Amino acid sequence: MKRIAVLTSGGDAPGMNAAIRAVVRSGYYHGLEVYGVYRGYTGLIQGDIEKMELGTVGDIIHRGGTVLYSSRCEEFKTEAGRQKAVEQLKKHQIDGLVVIGGDGSFQGAKKLTALGFPTIGVPGTIDNDIPATDFTIGFDTAVNTVVECIDKIRDTATSHERTYIVEVMGRDAGDIALWAGLADGAESILIPEAPYQIDEIVERLQRSSERGKKHSIIIVAEGVGSGLDVADKITDRLGWETRVTVLGHVQRGGSPTAFDRVLASRMGSKAVELLLSGQRDMMVAIRNNDVIGIDFDEALSQKHQPRMELYDLAKILSI
């Protein structure tokens, strides 16, 4: 193996640049040439591939987003599109590929391996919804962004003595809502993995009000539904005035936390090690603080589950 390439695909996540940097510099440390594929699988099909040098990734470890850009590619979902991608990799004499992204990106990486091209996945998504790894790159930063926003919203909620519903991202996973809600002392946390009862939420609000509490924060994961719907249900039952904040894509941006920078550096370097050892069709994961490689089949066959003990703890602490 003499040349490897790296691309980012799907939604951007803080820490992707740190992972790119780790792939490039680890690659050169081991005597490899490293190429960057711009705009994900779209760029791979189009041959938007350039050689990266050590200086190319200088001063990017602290930057959010991805310097390689990202996109979603419908053409790559076709057999003809994937064949074009392999042809471009062969044209550039690339021997292995590192794909940084989420589950959709990994499905694409798996298909490349099936065509005979060694591919390693690095989990980069704020949703933390990749099975088989404790954390994904970008999750910690997104949680900290949400916590910072809720801290500010709480100031207004306190001043106006109102209930605020905050809708956060996460697709079908409730990890962002769960961790941010626990960190910020939310009265209720609604996640798709634990169906909620509106009567229980109303009862909790009433109990808080009776003991003199003037404001409340409720966190709603987007996989549950609209925060506006939850607000309407509370108003219908209690007649209280509520406010809804949808945080949206602000959760994807910003400088990555120290945790995400270190995680991305470890995972990017591990991906290079796996390629050099002859591995393929694998993803990098962190388990019990150890960075390891796991077969795609094993990883993608599992179902993601949040740490429900945190959900139970949040309910206990918000009594």
Give the H or E element holding residue 178: helix 175-183
Q: Is 295 a catalytic residue?
A: no
The neighbour count for residue 319, using CB atoms within 10 Å, is 8
Buried b (16+ CB within 10 A) or exposed e, 136-162: bbbbbbbbbbbeebbeebbeebeeeee
Eight-class DSSP state of 137? B
Catalytic entry in 48, 59, 95, 127: 127
Rounded Cα gap, residues 164 and 218, in angstroms? 6
Give the DSSP letter string of 178-242. HHHHHHTT-SEEEBTTB---HHHHHHHHHHHHHTT---EEEEEETTT--HHHHHHHHHHHH---E
Taking a C-beta distance cutoff of 8 angstroms, is the pair 117, 4 a contact? no
* Residues designated as active site: 127
